[in-house]
C-alpha cells in the first residue's frame, strides 16, 4: 500500500463553464475554492467561460502549459444537453484518462441521487506539455455534485496524485 503525502500544497486553476452564471453567483466554483483552501491548496487562477468548446479548450490547454499550475478543476458542461460540451473540449487534450474518477463519482452519486447519476460525464485525466503533467478534473455544475467530488475523491487524493504524476517515489 502506498503512503499518501498530503503535505504537498497544490496550485490549482478553477474553471466554471456556464451560459447562465456570473462569477458573483458561481456557487460551484466557490465550493471548489473553499475546499481547496481548507486543504491548504492555493487557487492561482479562476475563470468563468460560456459553453463554447474552443474557449474551454484554449483556456485549459493554456493552463496546462503553465509551470505555476499543478492541477485544473473544471465545473459545468458535463451533462447530456447539447450545450454541455466540456468533455468534447477537454478529453481530446488528455494524454491519458483516469477512468476510476468518473466511475467512483457516478457510484457515489448513485447512492445519493439514484439512476440520474448515469447522466453525468464527470471525468479526469492528465495533460502532458513537455515535461509537465497536469491532472484535470471535469465535474458537474451542481454545487452538491461538486461537494461530493471534492470531499470524497479529489481532496483526499490530490497531493498523492500530483506526486505520482510528477514521477516522485510514493513509498
Q: How far apart are CA 124 and CA 141, in angstroms?
A: 15
Q: Exposed (0-12), middle (13-18) or buried (19+): which is 52, by Cβ within 10 Å?
A: middle
At residue 132, the pLDDT reads 87
Beta bridge pairs of residue 71: 12
Q: How far apart are CA 136 and CA 15, in angstroms?
A: 11
At residue 1, the pLDDT reads 39
At residue 158, the pLDDT reads 97
CA angle 64, 129, 43 (to 5 degrees): 20
Domain ranges of the chain: 11-165
DSSP E strands: which ranges in 30-168? 42-49, 71-75, 96-97, 123-129, 132-139
What CATH superfamily is the domain 11-165? MoaB/Mog-like domain (3.40.980.10)
CB contact at 8 A, 123 and 101: yes
Instruction: Reduce the DSSP state of residue 133 to 3 states and report it.
Output: strand
Q: Tell me the chain's radius of gyration from C-alpha atoms.
A: 15
> Would you write out the chain's pLDDT as a tens digit for each of its 171 residues?
344 555 689 999 999 999 999 999 999 999 999 999 999 999 999 999 999 999 999 999 999 999 999 999 999 999 999 999 999 999 999 999 999 999 999 999 999 999 999 999 999 999 999 888 999 999 999 999 999 999 999 999 999 999 998 886 554
At residue 123, the pLDDT reads 98
**Which pLDDT tens digit goes with each residue over 10-25?**
999 999 999 999 999 9
Amino acid at each position: 500500500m502506498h503512503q499518501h503525502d498530503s503535505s504537498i500544497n497544490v496550485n490549482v486553476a478553477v474553471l466554471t463553464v456556464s451560459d447562465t452564471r456570473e462569477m458573483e453567483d458561481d456557487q460551484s466554483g466557490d465550493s471548489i475554492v473553499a475546499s481547496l483552501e481548507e486543504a491548504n491548496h492555493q487557487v492561482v487562477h479562476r475563470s468563468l467561460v460560456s459553453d463554447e468548446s474552443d474557449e474551454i479548450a484554449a483556456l485549459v490547454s493554456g493552463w496546462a502549459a503553465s509551470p505555476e499550475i499543478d492541477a485544473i478543476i473544471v465545473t459545468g458542461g458535463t451533462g447530456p444537453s447539447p450545450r454541455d460540451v466540456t468533455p468534447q473540449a477537454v478529453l481530446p487534450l488528455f494524454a491519458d484518462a483516469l477512468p476510476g474518477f468518473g466511475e467512483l463519482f457516478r457510484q457515489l452519486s448513485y447512492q445519493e441521487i439514484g439512476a440520474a447519476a448515469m447522466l453525468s460525464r464527470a471525468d479526469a485525466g492528465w495533460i502532458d506539455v513537455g515535461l509537465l503533467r497536469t491532472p484535470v478534473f471535469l465535474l458537474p455544475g451542481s454545487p452538491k455534485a461538486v461537494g461530493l467530488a471534492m470531499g470524497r475523491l479529489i481532496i483526499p487524493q490530490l497531493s498523492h496524485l500530483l506526486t505520482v504524476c510528477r514521477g516522485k517515489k510514493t513509498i
